[in-house]
Amino acid sequence: MKIIVLPKERMRALVEEAGVKPDDFYVTVKSPVETEYAVEADAGNVLKLAFDDAEVEVDGEELTLFDEDMAFQVCEFFAKMQEERKPDSILYVNCGAGISRSGAIGEAANILFNRILEDCTGDYYEFYFTNHTIQPNLLVKSTLMRAIDEMANA
């Protein structure tokens, strides 16, 4: 499965130009203080999440960290994708910069769809070639991979 990680502004431009395509899927992430998502559509192929790009609590700062509930929301969305996706469906993932939060979700999706559910070596390696600037948030990646492991072994 093709997975593309984008910064917020590029995702917004893509959606403004082409719209939300019914055969593709979108995970859009914003910080809790932002007012708008890059993808505002309320559709079954869009998952909206709001959490900070942080891996640990910081004294004196009120942060919303990625947690198990969010991980299971992502897993439910991935399960729905697996049922509904077409051979040429694309998963678009964005956060503010398209590097850390969305990079972690994109990488977890790549492992799930291109290694665990299917052995799509070409798509697996294309993900890293296409998204070479990602630096996954370790909290997001580890929490999500634990949830994927639970989902896969359920």
Find the farthest-apart pair of alpha carbons in the chain and give their distance in angstroms, rounded.
47
Give residue 47's domain range. Answer: 2-152
Determine the pLDDT at residue 61: 85
Residue 154 pLDDT more than 80? no
- Residue 59 DSSP class: T
Distance, CA of 140 to chain centre: 10
Q: Check residue 80 and give its pLDDT.
A: 96
Q: Which pLDDT belongs to residue 59?
A: 81
Cα separation values, 112 from 10, 26, 31, 81, Å: 25, 16, 25, 11
The pLDDT tens digits for 101-110 are: 999 999 999 9
Report the residue count for the chain: 154
CATH number for the domain harbouring residue 94: 3.90.190.10
Mean of the pLDDT values across residues 49-66? 92
- The count of structural domains within the chain is 1
Question: For 79-126, what is each residue's pLDDT tens digit?
Answer: 999 999 999 999 999 999 999 999 999 999 999 999 988 888 999 999
pTM of the model: 0.95
| Cβ atoms of 108 and 141 closer than 8 Å | yes
Q: pLDDT tens digits, residue range 18-49?
A: 999 999 999 999 999 999 999 999 999 999 99
* C-alpha span between 30 and 143 (Å, rounded): 18
pLDDT grade for 141, boundaries at 50, 70 and 90: very high
Q: How far apart are CA 31 and CA 34, in angstroms?
A: 6
Q: Return d(Cα 107, Cα 2) in angstroms, integer.
A: 11
Residue % of the chain over a pLDDT of 90: 90
What is the per-residue pLDDT for 126? 96
